[in-house]
């Protein structure tokens, strides 16, 4: 029988700079190996520069080549850029056990970012037709998810203080002309590690967990 008390706690794992491909492989292995009693996990980290293309993404949204690799992944969505200064949050959650639909997961993650930004005096919002979080029409957080065996992986990226030039080589999330922004661009002096704990709390609350516990 599933230990409900244990599965109501979100296990938090924080990393430094991690290679995208290795992290993606680790998420898939975790998802394939988990069982009904495996605690859900939230992974917080940064990636070295990389472009990732969603499962059905159109490579024509890569406008020019750069030194950063381009990887086709199994998440939803189009193309995006990851790099230093961007907070990555991967949500490895048993959606069936949480009785959480994909729309509720997306909405919860968007609201977690919106409420986090509110703490910094930034008014942000989501768009029903274009997942992510926006400030005055500029995208500050992107979402891309995959569900397999009833469990989610991948997650969201929040621009804290990255070099936004990385987005110049693409149509961000497949939207030509879409502008991006960051906390730094909005005048907030913060580092990725400053956002980790408050974002973890917001995600925990929005996805209806009772608490956080440090992972191994």
Position 88 in a domain: yes
Cβ neighbour number for residue 163 with a 10 Å cutoff: 15
Question: Is 85 marked within a binding site?
Answer: no
Position 38 in a domain: yes
- The string of pLDDT tens digits covering residues 128-151 is 888 999 999 999 999 999 999 999
Q: How many domains does the chain have?
A: 1
Q: Which residues of the chain have pLDDT under 50?
A: 1
Q: Is the pTM of this model over 0.85?
A: yes
Question: Is 81 marked within a binding site?
Answer: yes
Q: Which residues pair with 72 in a beta bridge?
A: 53
Position 152 in a domain: yes
Question: Is 43 marked within a binding site?
Answer: no
What confidence score (pLDDT) does residue 156 get? 98
Position 147 in a domain: yes
Q: Which two tokens stand for residue 197?
A: 């704990």
What confidence score (pLDDT) does residue 56 get? 86
Position 215 in a domain: no
Q: What is the domain range of residue 191?
A: 4-210
CATH of the domain at 74: 3.30.930.10
Catalytic site residue 151?
no
**CB contact at 8 A, 61 and 174:** yes
What confidence score (pLDDT) does residue 215 get? 86
Position 72 in a domain: yes
Position 99 in a domain: yes
What confidence score (pLDDT) does residue 1 get? 40
Position 216 in a domain: no
Annotated catalytic residue within 27, 45, 158, 173: 173
């Amino acid at each position: 029988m599933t230990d409900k008390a244990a599965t109501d706690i979100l296990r938090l794992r924080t990393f430094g700079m991690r290679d995208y491909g290795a992290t993606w492989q680790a998420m898939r292995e975790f998802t394939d190996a988990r069982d009904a009693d495996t605690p859900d996990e939230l992974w917080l980290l940064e990636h070295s520069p990389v472009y990732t293309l969603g499962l059905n993404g159109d490579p024509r949204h890569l406008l020019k080549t750069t030194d950063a690799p381009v990887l086709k992944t199994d998440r939803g969505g189009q193309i995006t850029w990851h790099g230093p200064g961007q907070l990555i949050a991967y949500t490895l959650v048993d959606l069936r056990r949480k009785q959480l639909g994909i729309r509720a997961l997306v909405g919860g993650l968007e609201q977690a970012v919106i409420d986090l930004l509110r703490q910094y005096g930034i008014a942000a919002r989501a768009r029903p037709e274009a997942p992510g979080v926006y400030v005055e029409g500029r995208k500050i957080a992107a979402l891309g998810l995959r569900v397999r065996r009833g469990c989610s992986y991948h997650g969201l990226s929040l621009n804290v203080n990255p070099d936004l030039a990385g987005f110049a080589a693409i149509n961000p999330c497949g939207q030509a002309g879409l502008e991006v922004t960051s906390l730094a661009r909005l005048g907030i002096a913060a580092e990725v590690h400053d956002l980790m704990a408050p974002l973890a709390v917001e995600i925990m609350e929005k996805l209806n967990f009772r608490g956080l516990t440090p992972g191994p």
